[in-house]
Amino acid sequence: MKISESTEVKLDLKTIVSVIIITASFVGMYYTLQQDIEEAKKLPPAEIQRLEYDLKEEWNSEHITALEERVERLEQVEDVLFEEINILSTLIQEGTENDGKMYELNKRLEELQNKQPTIIVKEVEVNKKGRR
């Protein structure tokens, strides 16, 4: 295919109009964008105020401190529970009088596991209008 002076290009009217409309819309968008850029240059620069940064930093540090306190309390609870488990295990191994308490605790636990929920049904008289 050679392009020369005798090359013929055939375009229908719809294609030519589409190309013109697309070109016009791009030119319009370009000038609108240039106008927005010029307007933005005239506005004062958006600054992140020091107060905003300080407040955000304070909020973060407060939450970190609160989380550290919660973790510390959980570690203390873990230590107490670990000590209780050690004491109970030594009492069980030694066969002291607390064996009865362990038996009682196990029995109560089984009772709670086997306990069925209580359902209370109350009859209420309703007249023809649906009122009590």
Per-residue pLDDT of the chain in tens (132 residues, 90 and over written 9): 677 888 888 889 999 999 999 999 999 999 999 999 999 889 887 776 777 888 888 888 888 988 888 888 888 878 777 777 777 777 777 765 555 666 666 676 666 666 665 555 555 565 665 554
Based on the structure, what is the number of domains in the chain? 2
Decide: 110 and 103 in contact? Cβ < 8 Å.
no
Decide: 131 and 124 in contact? Cβ < 8 Å.
no
**Same domain flag for 41 and 71:** no
Nearest by Cα to 70 from 62, 60, 82 = 62
Angstrom distance (rounded) from CA 25 to CA 19: 10
Whether pTM exceeds 0.75: no
**Same domain flag for 22 and 71:** no
**Same domain flag for 61 and 42:** no
**Same domain flag for 71 and 95:** yes
Per-state percent for the chain, helix, strand, coil, to nearest 5 = 70, 0, 30
- Report yes or no on 16 lying in a domain: yes
**Same domain flag for 15 and 57:** no
Look at the block and give the residue holding tokens 């540090």: 61
CA 64 to chain centre: 18
Domain that includes residue 67, residue range: 50-111
